[in-house]
Every structure is written in structure tokens, then in C-alpha cells.
């Protein structure tokens, strides 16, 4: 009876296994588990097949940086409008805004976005979403779309992402139904395909980290070159975690929605489209085949079936891998693995009952564990030793033989601890026996001499109390110890190399900036820091080429190393070296500067040629009391900047006044914009007089600044700061509008002259500003004179010519200011549409005392009249100067002889006084 019960039980088990194998392909209860396994396997394949994105789709991420920069969410739609405008200007092929615009915003903001969509010419794609109208399962669906003002001026595309039964996003649709017709999805629109049907798998082997990605704030700030968007499809969407627009996907976990759209687009662009296939029938066929194989293998050893199973699973995974490689379709193999496991159980049940199998498995596990442990120890690349309380080795790895070269060949030495380790083991044993803890561990380092080469090892020694039986069956209360040692010679060398790389300039071998500062800071005695800059090195680099310049820099570094008293030498940037000198007096004299500069007296050898290089020096003192080493280097570089621009000396010592001047310039820059808002700037006007009649014909506008803390700031001080910071554009616009408004209070024959900075021509639409100033004030265009300095002509000549021509076509008069002091060129007089030429006051003041100045003024007057230009002389202070200029037919003049800069009211008073004088 017991036998038959075993037979019945065995038959029942096998019948259950057969039934289970037939049910696996169609049993929905196991589908969540198999979906999970399939996703894990597919992710591993995707990872093995990883490929880069094509680069045809660019992601503009609304990340945390962008949210912090704007400060609110949702963003005002004017921000999205600005993004569209910038991308359209960059030549983007298509722009998809993955933003919900289904609700109206403020009217002005919606209008800004609508106008930008129109200006983009229909290249902007906006999303529509199909969603359930309620949380009730099976409820009706509706489509959420942008408001009509936006939808009518853009392409609409479905942006739905749908979770599979596995809870992951694995597929996308080509299109969906909208208003009775098929409307493409976002991937189909961005990939520019015509298909409007089908659901396809997303190819997650495409690495999302290779998608060109830029922060929206960088695009808005203009720090991203617009060329990266040219002829690209651009997706703008959420990336910041707080926006909660992330969905689970295979391989990568949560992924931002816009990136999922881009991966789907890349799937189309890289021809990786694949759709799902029903695998139920092939899996049923596989189940039947495995059942037959398992039953047929009952007469063979289980190893034969296992070998066959390994071949089958290898073939199955290989085919799946090839299909996923070529067709991007992820074949589901989890059911195959389950069927294979069940068939193995079925094969085992054909040979014996489960009780026998369990006992055999337990014995096999023990034997396997023991053999595995011995194999791990024996084959380990690390040194592994196991020893007892007598310090006899119980087991050891083969690599331990390399530690003790003193032993002769044979097995006796394998029972002893290598001599290199013995002192460390003995010390560990002493500490273990001195303590009461059951275990003791310590880490240590030791070296092994390998024929003149010293190998370094890191070792971990662990000792544990042990109760065991000896060969006679007696219990031993001792301990078992183990040593695991690793050869770290290569790692230590690598770390040393990394340290050297982090401290040294790769090209010259000198210290880099950070290491130079660190070593300078550690100096005890005072040091003189000298920044050595190569004069006109960019031009030299452009002429010689990169390889020759690299040789030149190495040659310069070598020669600077020979300077006496040098403590440290480094290279801090492309053409700037820095050295610290230990000077007995703690002072720096011309003798030391000349000693450094003498290193550049002889030519340098580079690329087979002799090259002469000049140098400039910036010098500062470091004494570790007044300032840090970093400040000392900064001061030396600041002095070097001054030395580069100083034609009188090749070296300059840093002066505190320089820092004070820079600090004052920064304060002035910070105060300018607030002063402009608070009306702390004001205009003064200097009369311009007809030299023939003495009649006042106009006035030049001069800007003044009265600050509550700085007092009355000189234009010579604040104008350069305004130009370097760009504030001059705002100041110029303010001056132009106020000057035009003031001139409207003067008699109709009076003109007003306004200075225009070259920066305004480069960075603003000066033509539009002039038109607005004239329109707001009502001033006739011929009464406005714009004065331009010669430096405006240095760059952008063709563009400047066009702007000046348009200004003159309005009727505005153009005058060339300070002629003769800058980059004077007769081509300005002949090639540009000018109306007036202003002779600089430096010539006028020497008119009566310097014959050469007289001849220059006379020649300029003759040239100007020959070209049909009027002349205005500046700086007239004496009657004799006025008389000479009048005789030379100079039409107009200005200067203290006719009046100092004054308010608009004082101009009117002076004009009235002149009229009364004429009437008398």
C-alpha cells in the first residue's frame, strides 16, 4: 500500500506539473509576475544594445534652475512666447510645447503667446490629451485641447502616454481620433511621417542621456548658442521633480514625459518601429515540447536534461536578442523560463520522489558549498590564508605563494604564514588574546620585495574564537584566523599619478593655479609674487599654430625655472605664468624685474624656428598676514593687466589705489541704475554760436550726475564705467528723450546736439529710439544733431553706414565729434554720410601759440568745406581764437567764451539777453 501511495502521489505531482505547464501561457494570474520579469530582461537587452540619440531632437528642460529663475509656476505665457520667438529665430524645424494650455490665462499673456505662434509660421506643436471624464472605470472620454486662440495658430498632436498592464510606459500610438478625423501623435509629427494608425513599442535602447538637453533658463538668458537649434525638432517640457511629469519606463525608472515623447520620436527616426505579437501559440507549442522532452529523459541522467535545457534557453534568449537588435521588438521569454523550470521539476519527478530529491539536494549543497569555498580560496587573485591558534595554515590561495620567495619548492612552506605577514599576524594574535571580545579585526599595510621592486599590499586580519573537534575527537577551544591581502601597487601608483595631475599643468609640468596658491600659502617667509604675461600672445598663437605655441610655452617654462631665488613656479592660464621669489629684504627692486625680463632677451626655439617674445610683469607682496595667497596672486594679475596697457614700463607693482579705484568703479556701477530711476542724473547745455554773426544757434547736451553719497561725479569718471557695464544704453535713451523735450521750449532756429556712444549703436536700435524721442517731443528732425566719436567706426562699418543713412533720411544731422584725437581717418569724412565735423579742443586751445596746430585746423577746414561738411570748433575760450576760426570760415563754435554748461532755463535767459543786445 505504501508503494502504491508513493506511485499515486508521484503521478499526481507529475499531472499537476503538466497541467501547470499547459496553463502558464494563458493563465492571467501569473501575468503581472511574467510582465515584470519580461521588463527586467528587456531592460538588460536594451542596456546591452544601447545606442545614442540621433541629435535631430533637442530637449529644452523646464528644470529646477528654470523654475527658480522665473520664480512662479505656471509661468506667464509671455515666457513661453519668448521661448518660441528665440527658437524660431534660431531656425528650429518644429517646436513642441509639452504644456497644458487648455485654460485661459490673462488676456495680455494669451495674446503674446498667440502672436508668437503666428510669427512662428505654424511650426509650433501644442498637445491635446484624451482622458476619462470621471474616476469611474469605463467612463466616457473626452479630449482636452488648448484654448481656441492658441489651437487655431498651431499644430495639434496627441500627447497621451498610456501605462501597460505592467505599470510601465512601453508603447505609443501614431494617431488618435479628434473631431471625427485621425490626428497624429507628437512622435509622428516631430518625426514628420505620414502614418496615422498603429501602436508601436518605444525603443529604450536609445540612451536618453545622449539627447541634446538645455535648461530653459539658459535659453532665455541667451547663454545657449542658437545654432544648436537650427533645423532641429525642439521639445519644451517639464523636467523638475516638483512638476510631477514623470512616468515609469523600463530600464530607466521614472522618466520625464517630454523625454518619453523624444524617445518615441527617435524610435521612428532610427527606423526601430515594432509592434506587439501574440506569443500564446508558440508558448503552448514550447510547453508541449518540454513536456515530451522531460518525460523522454527519464531514462537518462538529469545532467543530460539540464544540458538540453541550457541549450534551449540559450537559443531562446539568443533569438530574442537578435530580434530586439534588428527589429526593436522585445520578445517575452519569462514564460519560457517558467516552462523550463517546471519541465526540470517534471524530469526530476520522473526519477524519484521529492523526499529523495530533497535529501540529495541537501547533501549536494553541503558538498558544493565546501568545494566552492575551497575553490574560491584557492583561485582567489587576492592572498587568502586561514590559520589556527598554532599559526599553522589550514588553507591558502595559490597567490599566497608570491609573498614568500625565501621558501624552496615543496609543500612544507604552504603550512606556514609567509614571513612578510608574520609580524602583523603575531601582533593581531597578541591583541586578540589580550582582549575579551569574540572577534578581533585589524587592517594593515605591508611591502614585499620582488627583485628590487617593492610591491605594496593592504591586508585585513580577522581572528574569531572557535570550538571544534580535532582528529582524535577531542574538543579544542582556540581560534581561527584569516588574512585577506590585496596587491595595491598599481592603485597606489594611479593615486600618485592622479595627485600629480591635480597639481601640475599638463603642458608645461609647472604647478597649476590651485597648487601654486596652496604652496604659496604654506610659505613661512614673505614672498614676492610675480605674474609673467606674454605680450600679444593671441596674435602669436594665431600665426604659429597650436603645436608650435605649445613648444614655445614649454621653452618659456624651462627658462623661467632658471631665475634665481624662485620658490615656486606655475602656469595659471594660457599665456600667464606666476612665480614666487624669496627675497632677503622682503622687497622687490628693478634689478629683480630686469632679471626676469632678461630671460626673454634671447629667442626661443619652437618648431625649428627662433621666436622672440616680449613679457610684462605684475608684482605683489605676500606675507601671510595682510592677505591670503589667493589674493596675492589676484593682485599680481591685476598689476599685470595694468602693465599690459602701460606703454612706459614692462612691469608694475600692485598699488592699493588700484583696488580702491576698482572698488569705487563697482560702487558707481551699482548705483547708476538706481540713480537713473531716482532722477539723480540731469542735463546741462553748452551754447553753440554762429561764428560769423555771434547768434546762438544751438546747444550741446552734457550729462551730469549728482549722487547723495558720491556728490557731483565727473562724466570722465562715470561714462567709462557706464560704457563697460552697458548702462550707457539706458542713460543715452534717457538723455535723448529729455534733450528733445527741452529743445521744444527753445526758438525754432535752435538745434540740440546729443552725444551717442558706440555701445548704443552696437547694442540698441538707435533708429527706433530717435524716432520715438522725436514723436514724443514733437521736435522737428532737422533740429536734432547726433554726435558720434571716431571709435564708433572701428567695427561694423557697413551696419553703421546703414543706420546713419536712415537717420539722415529722417532729417537728423550727423556730426563727427572730437575729430583728430582718436583713430582719425580721412575715409570717415569721405565714406560716411556726415553733416558736421567737430574739431577737438586740443587743437583750438593751441591755435594762437602753436603754428602746427593752426596748419592742422586750416587743413581740416579746407577738407571739410571741400566735402560739403560744416565745421564746429570746441573749446573756444579767447576772442583771438574765435577771430581766427571765423577767418578760416569755421561756421560754428562752442566754449567758455560763449558760455559754460548750464541749465535749460539759463540757456533761455542767455538767448533773451543776446536778443535784447541785438535789438539795442
Task: State which of 623, 654, 685 marks the end of a domain.
Answer: 654
User: What CATH number does residue 624 fall under?
Assistant: 3.30.70.270
Task: State which of 472, 492, 512 marks the end of a domain.
Answer: 492
Is residue 6 included in any domain, yes or no?
Answer: no
Contact yes or no for 146/126 (Cβ under 8 A): yes
Distance CA 778, CA 438 (A): 99
Same domain, 89 and 42: no
Is residue 21 included in any domain, yes or no?
Answer: yes
Share of the chain above pLDDT 70, in %: 85
Q: Answer with the residue of higher pLDDT: 136 or 639.
A: 639
Q: How confident is the model at residue 801 (pLDDT cuts 50, 70, 90)?
A: confident
Is residue 138 included in any domain, yes or no?
Answer: yes
pLDDT at 774 over 90: yes
Average pLDDT over residues 750-771: 90
Query: For the ranges 45-59, 90-104, 473-487, which has the lowest average pLDDT?
Result: 473-487
Query: For the ranges 167-171, 578-582, 887-891, which has the lowest average pLDDT?
Result: 167-171
Average pLDDT over residues 27-55: 75
Of the candidates 58, 62, 80, 193, the residue with the CA atom closest to the CA atom of residue 126:
80
Same domain, 798 and 874: yes
pLDDT at 169 over 80: yes
Average pLDDT over residues 394-410: 67
pLDDT at 408 over 50: no
Same domain, 570 and 452: no
pLDDT at 358 over 60: no
pLDDT value of residue 298: 61
Task: State which of 251, 269, 287 marks the end of a domain.
Answer: 269
Is residue 665 included in any domain, yes or no?
Answer: no
pLDDT value of residue 1: 47
Same domain, 877 and 834: yes
Q: What is the DSSP string of 229-259?
A: GTT-EEEEEE-SGGG--EEEETTTEEEEHHH
Average pLDDT over residues 328-332: 67
pLDDT value of residue 473: 58
Our count of domains for the chain comes to 5
Is residue 882 included in any domain, yes or no?
Answer: yes
User: What CATH number does residue 390 fall under?
Assistant: 3.30.450.20
Average pLDDT over residues 40-57: 80
Is residue 369 included in any domain, yes or no?
Answer: no
Is residue 371 included in any domain, yes or no?
Answer: no
Same domain, 93 and 146: yes
pLDDT at 357 over 70: no
Same domain, 40 and 59: no
Q: Answer with the residue of higher pLDDT: 884 or 586.
A: 884
CA-based end-to-end distance of the chain = 152
Same domain, 513 and 626: yes
Same domain, 138 and 242: yes
Distance CA 582, CA 565 (A): 6
Distances, alpha carbon 798 to alpha carbons 437, 765, 786, 803, 812, in Å: 88, 15, 19, 9, 19
Residue 418 zone, left/alpha/beta (φ > 0; ψ -120 to 50; rest): beta
Same domain, 686 and 719: yes
pLDDT at 763 over 70: yes
Q: Answer with the residue of higher pLDDT: 463 or 789.
A: 463
Name the grid cell of 640: 599685470
pLDDT at 670 over 80: yes
Q: Answer with the residue of higher pLDDT: 273 or 668.
A: 668
Strands 175-178 and 181-184: antiparallel
Contact yes or no for 451/436 (Cβ under 8 A): no
Distance CA 592, CA 770 (A): 57
Same domain, 471 and 617: no
Query: For the ranges 278-287, 388-397, 822-831, which has the lowest average pLDDT?
Result: 822-831
pLDDT value of residue 787: 92
Averaged pLDDT score across all residues of the chain: 82
Q: How confident is the model at residue 667 (pLDDT cuts 50, 70, 90)?
A: confident
Of the candidates 172, 187, 193, 166, the residue with the CA atom closest to the CA atom of residue 251:
166
Distance CA 847, CA 859 (A): 13
Distance CA 274, CA 409 (A): 64
pLDDT at 245 over 80: yes
Same domain, 628 and 680: no
Share of the chain above pLDDT 90, in %: 20
pLDDT at 3 over 50: no
Strands 696-707 and 711-713: antiparallel
Strands 57-62 and 233-238: parallel
Same domain, 40 and 75: no
Q: Answer with the residue of higher pLDDT: 412 or 813.
A: 813
Query: For the ranges 118-122, 688-692, 843-847, which has the lowest average pLDDT?
Result: 118-122
pLDDT value of residue 611: 87
Distance CA 392, CA 385 (A): 10
Q: What is the DSSP string of 471-501?
A: TTS-EEEEEEEEEEEEE-HHHHHHHHHHHHH
Strands 566-573 and 576-581: antiparallel
Range of the domain at 753: 672-919
Q: How confident is the model at residue 234 (pLDDT cuts 50, 70, 90)?
A: very high
Distance CA 818, CA 829 (A): 13
Helix (H, G, I), strand (E, B) or coil at 115: helix
Is residue 149 included in any domain, yes or no?
Answer: yes
Residue 919 phi, psi dihedral angles, 5° rounding: -65, -35
State the helix-helix crossing angle for 77-89 and 107-119, rounded to 10 degrees. 10
Name the grid cell of 576: 600667464
Amino acid at each position: 500500500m505504501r508503494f502504491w501511495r508513493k506511485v499515486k502521489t508521484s503521478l499526481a505531482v507529475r499531472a499537476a506539473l503538466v497541467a501547470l505547464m499547459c496553463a502558464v501561457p494563458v493563465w492571467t494570474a501569473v501575468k503581472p509576475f511574467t510582465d515584470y520579469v519580461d521588463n527586467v530582461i528587456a531592460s538588460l537587452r536594451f542596456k546591452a544594445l544601447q545606442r545614442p540619440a540621433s541629435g535631430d531632437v533637442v530637449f529644452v528642460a523646464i528644470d529646477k534652475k528654470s523654475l527658480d529663475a522665473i520664480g512662479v509656476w505656471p509661468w506667464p505665457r509671455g515666457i513661453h512666447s519668448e521661448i518660441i520667438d528665440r527658437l524660431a529665430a534660431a531656425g528650429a524645424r518644429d517646436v513642441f510645447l509639452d504644456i497644458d494650455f487648455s485654460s485661459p490665462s490673462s488676456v495680455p499673456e494669451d495674446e503674446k503667446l498667440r502672436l508668437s505662434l503666428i510669427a512662428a509660421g505654424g511650426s509650433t506643436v501644442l498637445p491635446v490629451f484624451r482622458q476619462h471624464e470621471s474616476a469611474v472605470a469605463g467612463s466616457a472620454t473626452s479630449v482636452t485641447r488648448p484654448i481656441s486662440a492658441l489651437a487655431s495658430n498651431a499644430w495639434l498632436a496627441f500627447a497621451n502616454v498610456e501605462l501597460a498592464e505592467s505599470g510601465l510606459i512601453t508603447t505609443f500610438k501614431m494617431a488618435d481620433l479628434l473631431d471625427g478625423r485621425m490626428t497624429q501623435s507628437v512622435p509622428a509629427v516631430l518625426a514628420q511621417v505620414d502614418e496615422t494608425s498603429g501602436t508601436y513599442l518605444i525603443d529604450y535602447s536609445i540612451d536618453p542621456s545622449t539627447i541634446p538637453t538645455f535648461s530653459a533658463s539658459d535659453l532665455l538668458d541667451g547663454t545657449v548658442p542658437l545654432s544648436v537649434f537650427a533645423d532641429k525638432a525642439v521639445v519644451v517640457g517639464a523636467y523638475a521633480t516638483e512638476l510631477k511629469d514623470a512616468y515609469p519606463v523600463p530600464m530607466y525608472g521614472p522618466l520625464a514625459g517630454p523625454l518619453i515623447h523624444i524617445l518615441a520620436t527617435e524610435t521612428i527616426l532610427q527606423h526601430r518601429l515594432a509592434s506587439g505579437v501574440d506569443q500564446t501559440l508558440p508558448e503552448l507549442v514550447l510547453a508541449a515540447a518540454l513536456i515530451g522532452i522531460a518525460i523522454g529523459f527519464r531514462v537518462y541522467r538529469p545532467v543530460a536534461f539540464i544540458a538540453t535545457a541550457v541549450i534551449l534557453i540559450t537559443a531562446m534568449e539568443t533569438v530574442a536578442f537578435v530580434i530586439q537588435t534588428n527589429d526593436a521588438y522585445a520578445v517575452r521569454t519569462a514564460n519560457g523560463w517558467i516552462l523550463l523550470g517546471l519541465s526540470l521539476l517534471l524530469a526530476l519527478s520522473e526519477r524519484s520522489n521529492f523526499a529523495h530529491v530533497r535529501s540529495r539536494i541537501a547533501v549536494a549543497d553541503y558538498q558544493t558549498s565546501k568545494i566552492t569555498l575551497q575553490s574560491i580560496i584557492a583561485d582567489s587573485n587576492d592572498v587568502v590564508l586561514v590559520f589556527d591558534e598554532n599559526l599553522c595554515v589550514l588553507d591558502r590561495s595559490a597567490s599566497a605563494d608570491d609573498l614568500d620567495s625565501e621558501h624552496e619548492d615543496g609543500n612544507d612552506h604552504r603550512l606556514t604564514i609567509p614571513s612578510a605577514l608574520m609580524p602583523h599576524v603575531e601582533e593581531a594574535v597578541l591583541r586578540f588574546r589580550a582582549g575579551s571580545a569574540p572577534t578581533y579585526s585589524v587592517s594593515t599595510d605591508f611591502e614585499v620585495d620582488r627583485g628590487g621592486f617593492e610591491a605594496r599590499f593592504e591586508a585585513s586580519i580577522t581572528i574569531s574564537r572557535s570550538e571544534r573537534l580535532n582528529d582524535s575527537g577531542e574538543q579544542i577551544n582556540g581560534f581561527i584566523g584569516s588574512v585577506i591581502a590585496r596587491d595595491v601597487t598599481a592603485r597606489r601608483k594611479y593615486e600618485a599619478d592622479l595627485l600629480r595631475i591635480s597639481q601640475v599643468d599638463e603642458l608645461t609640468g609647472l604647478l597649476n593655479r590651485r597648487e601654486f596658491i596652496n604652496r604659496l600659502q604654506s610659505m613661512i617667509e614673505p614672498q614676492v609674487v610675480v605674474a609673467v604675461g606674454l605680450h600679444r600672445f593671441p596674435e602669436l598663437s594665431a600665426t604659429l599654430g597650436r603645436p608650435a605655441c605649445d613648444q614655445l610655452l614649454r621653452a618659456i617654462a624651462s627658462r623661467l625655472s632658471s631665475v634665481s631665488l624662485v620658490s615656486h613656479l606655475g602656469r595659471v592660464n594660457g599665456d600667464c605664468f606666476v612665480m614666487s621669489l624669496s627675497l632677503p629684504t622682503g622687497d622687490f627692486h628693478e634689478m629683480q624685474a630686469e632679471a626676469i625680463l632678461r630671460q626673454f632677451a634671447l629667442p626661443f626655439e619652437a618648431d625649428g624656428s627662433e621666436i622672440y617674445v616680449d613679457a610684462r610683469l605684475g608684482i605683489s607682496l605676500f606675507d601671510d598676514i595682510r592677505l591670503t595667497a589667493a589674493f596675492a596672486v589676484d593682485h599680481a594679475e591685476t598689476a599685470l593687466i595694468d602693465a599690459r596697457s602701460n606703454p612706459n614700463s614692462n612691469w608694475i607693482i600692485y598699488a592699493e589705489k588700484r583696488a580702491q579705484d576698482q572698488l569705487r568703479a563697482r560702487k558707481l556701477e551699482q548705483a547708476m541704475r538706481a540713480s537713473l530711476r531716482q532722477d539723480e542724473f540731469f542735463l546741462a547745455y553748452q551754447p553753440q554760436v554762429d561764428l560769423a554773426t555771434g547768434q546762438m544757434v544751438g546747444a550741446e547736451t552734457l550729462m551730469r550726475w549728482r549722487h547723495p553719497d558720491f556728490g557731483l561725479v565727473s562724466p570722465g569718471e562715470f561714462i567709462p564705467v557706464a560704457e563697460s557695464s552697458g548702462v550707457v544704453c539706458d542713460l543715452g535713451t534717457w538723455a535723448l528723450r529729455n534733450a528733445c523735450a527741452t529743445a521744444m521750449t527753445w526758438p525754432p532756429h535752435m538745434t540740440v546736439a546729443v552725444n551717442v556712444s558706440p555701445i548704443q549703436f552696437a547694442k540698441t536700435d538707435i533708429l527706433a529710439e530717435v524716432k520715438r524721442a522725436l514723436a514724443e517731443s514733437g521736435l522737428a528732425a532737422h533740429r536734432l544733431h547726433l554726435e558720434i566719436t571716431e571709435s564708433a567706426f572701428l567695427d561694423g562699418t557697413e551696419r553703421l553706414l546703414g543706420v546713419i543713412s536712415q537717420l539722415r533720411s529722417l532729417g537728423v544731422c550727423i556730426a563727427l565729434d572730437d575729430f583728430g584725437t582718436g583713430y582719425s581717418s580721412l575715409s570717415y569724412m569721405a565714406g560716411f554720410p556726415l553733416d558736421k565735423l567737430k574739431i577737438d579742443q586740443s587743437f583750438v586751445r593751441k591755435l594762437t601759440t602753436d603754428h602746427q596746430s593752426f596748419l592742422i585746423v586750416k587743413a581740416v577746414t579746407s577738407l571739410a568745406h571741400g566735402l560739403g561738411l560744416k565745421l564746429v570748433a570746441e573749446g573756444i575760450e579767447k576772442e583771438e581764437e574765435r577771430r581766427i576760426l571765423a577767418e578760416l570760415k569755421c561756421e560754428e563754435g562752442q566754449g567758455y567764451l560763449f558760455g559754460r554748461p548750464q541749465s535749460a532755463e539759463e540757456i533761455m535767459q542767455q538767448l533773451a539777453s543776446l536778443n535784447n543786445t541785438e535789438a539795442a
